Amino acid sequence: MSESEVAGSDIYLQPSVFFEQGRSYLVRARSGHGKTSLLNFIYGISGQYDGEVVLTENAACSRGAFCRSTENDLRTRVLGYMFQDLCLFPELTAMENVQLKNRLTGFKSDAEIEAMLDALLPEGKKHQPVATLSLGQRQRVAAVRALCQPFKFILMDEPFSHIDSENARCVADMVMGEVGRQGAGLIVTALDAIDYFPFDVTYNL
């Protein structure tokens, strides 16, 4: 985006922006204004930006060098991510998609995963191929998968775009429970204000 397009942004073109572990952040902007790009910068899967991203003991910051022992450690021990496009394997069941991630981390038991999916999906859906699930059900599967690891921050890119309010609250409660247990930070992107999380800070992108 050009400088004129990001004029007034709380993040772009700012000398530094901090996300503190243990706090919850909403990043909101219109479609196409860089919400996904920002999360990809933090997650380390895109380098198409000027500046640097730092992960310190207490905060992720938009300047410095990102400290990581390996990319695998970063993505299985430090940062959780619920992608906007979900990145699920359509031929695998909901349970299998989550287990696949959990095999990398060993963070949850199969019983815990089943309980999480049972809380968010209609009966029997967890053993169906993801390709047969509605988009909202797939989003819920992706949310469960993102929780199957230790993290200092969890990133969620428009997590409720296809979920009704009742299920969105169930997802948010599950996420906040895990965030609280891990003392982690939460960064959520959305088109507009959402009230499912108790955000400490709202940034306008």
- pLDDT tens-digit map of 123-150: 999 999 999 999 999 999 999 999 999 9
pLDDT score at 70: 58
Tokens representing 74?
A: 């970063």
pLDDT mean across residues, the chain? 90
Distance of CA 110 to the CA centre of its chain: 22
Cβ-based neighbours of 84, under 8 Å, separated by 6 or more: 36, 157, 158, 161, 189
Render pLDDT for 172-194 as a digit per residue (tens, 0 to 9). 999 999 999 999 999 999 999 99
Residue extents of the structural domains in the chain: 18-204
* Architecture (CATH level 2) of domain 18-204: 3-Layer(aba) Sandwich (3.40)
pLDDT score at 74: 84
Q: In terms of Cα–Cα distance, which of 187, 192, 199, 200 is closest to 55?
A: 187
Question: Across-strand partners of 48?
Answer: none
Render pLDDT for 100-110 as a digit per residue (tens, 0 to 9). 999 999 999 99
Please answer whether residues 163 and 194 qualify as being in contact, where contact means their C-beta atoms are separated by less than 8 angstroms.
no
Q: How far is the C-alpha of 83 from the C-alpha of 87, rounded, in Å?
A: 7
Three-state DSSP class for 14? coil
User: For residues 120, 121, 124 and 127, what is the CA-based torsion angle, rounded to 10 degrees?
Assistant: -90
Residue 148 identity (one-letter amino acid): C
Render pLDDT for 38-76 as a digit per residue (tens, 0 to 9). 999 999 898 788 888 887 754 444 333 334 445 668 888
pLDDT score at 68: 42
Q: In terms of Cα–Cα distance, which of 18, 39, 47, 32 is closest to 159?
A: 39
Q: What is the pTM of this model?
A: 0.90
pLDDT score at 73: 81
Which helix (DSSP H) or strand (DSSP E) does residue 142 occupy? helix 135-146
CA angle 82-85-86, nearest 5°?
A: 45
pLDDT above 60 (res 9): yes
Distance of CA 42 to the CA centre of its chain: 11
pLDDT above 50 (res 3): yes
